[in-house]
Amino acid sequence: MKFCPNCKIEYTDEAIFCSDCNILLVEALPVPAPMNQCDNCSGEVDLDSDYCPQCGTLYAEDQYSCTNHPTGIATGVCVVCQKLFCNECLSEKKKRLYCTDHVHIEASEGWTVIFSSTDYYEAEIIRGKLDSAGITTHSTNTTNIGVLADGFMDNALGRTIFRYPIKIFVPADQYLSAKEILSEGPAADDTED
Domain spans of the chain, in order of start: 1-30, 32-104, 107-181
Q: What is the pLDDT of residue 119?
A: 79
Q: What is the pTM of this model?
A: 0.62
Q: How many helices (H) and strands (E) does the chain have?
A: 3, 12
pLDDT profile of the chain (193 residues), mean per 10 = 86 88 86 76 84 88 90 92 93 90 85 86 90 90 53 51 76 91 66 42
Give the DSSP letter string of 13-50.
TT--B-TTT--B-BSSPPPPPPEEE-TTT--EEETT-S
CA distance 155 to 167: 15
Residue 125: CA count within 13 A, CB half-sphere: 7
* Cβ contact 135:170 at 8 Å: yes
Q: What is the pLDDT of residue 150?
A: 47
Neighbours of 10 (CB within 10 A): 11
CA distance 80 to 58: 14
The CATH architecture one would assign to domain 107-181 is 2-Layer Sandwich (3.30)
Q: What is the pLDDT of residue 22?
A: 83
